[in-house]
């Protein structure tokens, strides 16, 4: 009797040690888990970085509209310089000696009056690139949710199974064990019969340990996704209070990404058109040279300058723009095909998930009927055990069959929740 009580007490202590959430439970519902996984992921910080990068690039494009100034200078030694052919001619008497070592420094300023509106189109393209980056980040964050959902549901099923063991099966086996110990003490039962129940009790405790170990591993992995490595031991997972609405229209981030990529290709085409336009600009040059490059007779150095209007145009590009446009058209066609393929696959996924939900709902209804039958069978087994028609082992087998049916029902119930969330994720509602 003392040995049995000691074993039972040790098993209870082990169970409590494996379930620290008994002391400080923190309910972690499924919507919160999905939200935290997205908000704490490093990808969530990329949106602000992409905006900052885009603003920096836009600032650089706007500054390119301002007059562009450049300072240049050079010094060189020339092997020959202009001089009179006949040193004795009258011209040689007044012609200065041009130095062989010459240098100049000047400031050049350019300002485009017209450039095909290329800078405005660069700003539009920059905005389109930002939309593509933001949409791509949303797609990456969206892909995380299904992994978190799978982890959460798997851990929740194991936790529910542990609860059935601890609240239903363990107390009933322990009750049978105490009765058998009393009968053994009175000589009405053999020690082997008592040990058989003790064995079932220990096996059930072992199964709880296995379930707890697997569940803890899943929770630790989930905690990594939620950036909460120290919190997992206190989590209690529960079914959501209400299922998500799956009747709304599809709003997947991939569709936004396809639209943004299409806009980006369109802006690239507009940029190509601008590059074919002439560039009209005003310019000015001012500096100091030895000799003056505009009047080489000023050999002692002099200031110089000029101001003018410049036109640059490349009327022939040998089909370069046309080839690039054809490339953009091909990319646009590829993008449209990718979007169509994605939509078709998404429709198939939605149909498959809707069918899985319907199937799981039917299985739960059948589970209820099976559990009702097994509960009646367990009651009959209990009554038959009291009058000696069945053995204790047979009664425990009936209890284990009922427990397994409850396990199956829990799995199917969570499968409905998981498939509902799969459908919501497929439609882009989470």
Please report where in the chains the tokens 């997205």 appear, as a residue: 38
CATH code of 2-427, in short, is: 1.20.1600.10
- Please report the pLDDT score of residue 9 as a whole number: 46
- Domain layout of the chain by residue ranges: 2-427
Q: What is the pTM of this model?
A: 0.73
- Please report the pLDDT score of residue 246 as a whole number: 63
The residue with greater pLDDT, 155 or 247, is: 155
Taking every pair of Cα atoms in the chain, the longest distance, rounded to a whole number of angstroms, is 151
- Please report the pLDDT score of residue 41 as a whole number: 87
Q: pLDDT band for position 243 (50/70/90)?
A: low
Is the pLDDT at 287 greater than 80? The verdict is yes
Which residue spans within 155-269 are E strands per DSSP?
235-237
Among 423, 410, 380, smallest CA distance to 162 is for 410
- Please report the pLDDT score of residue 223 as a whole number: 92
Q: What percent of the chain is predicted at pLDDT more than 70? A: 90
The residue with greater pLDDT, 212 or 196, is: 212
From 123-132, 182-191, 320-329, 369-378, the region with the lowest mean pLDDT: 182-191
Q: Are 208 and 18 a contacting pair, CB within 8 Å?
A: yes
Is the pLDDT at 314 greater than 90? The verdict is no
Is the pLDDT at 4 greater than 50? The verdict is no
Average pLDDT rounded to a whole number, residues 219-236 = 90
Phi first, then psi: give them for residue 367, nearest 5 degrees. Answer: -60, -40
Q: Is 9 exposed, middle or buried (0-12, 13-18, 19+ CB in 10 A)?
A: exposed
Is the pLDDT at 254 greater than 70? The verdict is yes
User: In b/e form, how buried is each residue of 330-348, taking b as 16+ CB within 10 angstroms?
Assistant: eebeebeeebeeeeeebee
Q: pLDDT band for position 315 (50/70/90)?
A: confident
Q: What is the pLDDT of residues 139-148, one digit of tens each?
A: 888 888 888 9
- Please report the pLDDT score of residue 242 as a whole number: 65
The residue with greater pLDDT, 245 or 175, is: 175
Q: pLDDT band for position 92 (50/70/90)?
A: low
Instruction: Kindly report the three-state secondary structure assignment for every residue of 22-50.
Output: HCCCEEECHHHHHHHHHHCCHHHHHHHHH
- Please report the pLDDT score of residue 13 as a whole number: 43
Q: pLDDT band for position 338 (50/70/90)?
A: very high
Nearest-5° angle of CA 24, CA 26, CA 29? 160
- Please report the pLDDT score of residue 15 as a whole number: 47
Q: Please count the other Cβ atoms lying within 10 Å of the Cβ belonging to residue 274.
A: 15
Is the pLDDT at 19 greater than 70? The verdict is no
Q: Are 180 and 193 a contacting pair, CB within 8 Å?
A: yes
Is the pLDDT at 14 greater than 80? The verdict is no
Q: What percent of the chain is predicted at pLDDT more than 90? A: 31
Torsion of CA 250, 426, 364, 165, to 10 degrees: -140
Mean pLDDT across the chain: 85
């Amino acid at each position: 009797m003392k040995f049995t009580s000691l074993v039972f007490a040790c098993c209870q202590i082990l169970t409590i040690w494996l379930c620290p959430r008994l002391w400080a439970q923190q309910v972690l519902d499924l919507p919160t888990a999905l939200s935290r996984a997205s908000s704490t992921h490093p990808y969530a910080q990329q949106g602000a970085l992409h905006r900052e990068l885009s603003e920096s690039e836009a600032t650089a494009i706007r500054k390119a509209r301002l007059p562009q100034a450049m300072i240049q200078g050079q010094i060189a030694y020339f092997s020959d310089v202009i001089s009179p052919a006949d040193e004795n001619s009258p011209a040689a008497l007044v012609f200065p000696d041009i130095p062989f070592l010459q240098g100049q420094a000047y400031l050049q300023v350019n300002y485009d009056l017209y450039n095909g509106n290329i800078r405005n189109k660069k700003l539009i393209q920059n905005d389109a690139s930002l939309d593509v980056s933001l949409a791509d980040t949303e797609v990456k964050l969206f892909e995380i949710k299904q992994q978190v959902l799978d982890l959460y549901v798997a851990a929740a099923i194991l936790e529910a199974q542990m609860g059935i063991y601890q609240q239903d099966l363990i107390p009933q086996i322990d009750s049978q064990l105490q009765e058998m110990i009393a009968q053994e003490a009175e000589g009405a039962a053999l020690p082997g019969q008592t040990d058989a129940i003790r064995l079932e009790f220990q096996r059930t405790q072992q199964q709880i340990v296995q379930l707890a170990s697997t569940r803890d591993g899943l929770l630790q992995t989930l905690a990594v996704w939620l950036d909460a490595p120290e919190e997992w031991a206190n989590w209690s997972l529960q079914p959501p209070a209400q299922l998500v609405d799956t009747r709304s229209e599809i709003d997947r981030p991939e569709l936004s990404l396809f639209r943004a990529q299409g806009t980006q290709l369109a802006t690239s085409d507009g940029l190509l058109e601008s590059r074919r336009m002439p560039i009209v600009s005003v310019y000015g040059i001012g500096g100091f040279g030895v000799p003056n490059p505009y009047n080489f007779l000023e050999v002692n150095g002099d200031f110089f300058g000029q101001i003018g209007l410049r036109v640059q145009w490349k009327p022939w590009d040998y089909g370069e723009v046309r080839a690039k446009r054809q490339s953009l058209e091909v990319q646009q066609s590829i993008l449209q095909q990718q979007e169509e393929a994605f939509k078709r696959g998404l429709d198939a996924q939605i149909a498959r998930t809707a069918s899985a939900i319907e199937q799981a709902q039917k299985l739960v209804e059948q589970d209820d009927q099976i559990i009702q039958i097994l509960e009646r069978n367990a009651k009959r087994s209990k009554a038959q055990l009291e009058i000696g028609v069945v053995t204790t082992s047979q009664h425990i087998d009936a209890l284990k069959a009922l427990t397994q049916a409850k396990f199956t029902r829990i799995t199917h119930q969570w499968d409905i929740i998981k498939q509902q969330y799969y459908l919501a994720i497929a439609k882009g509602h989470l």
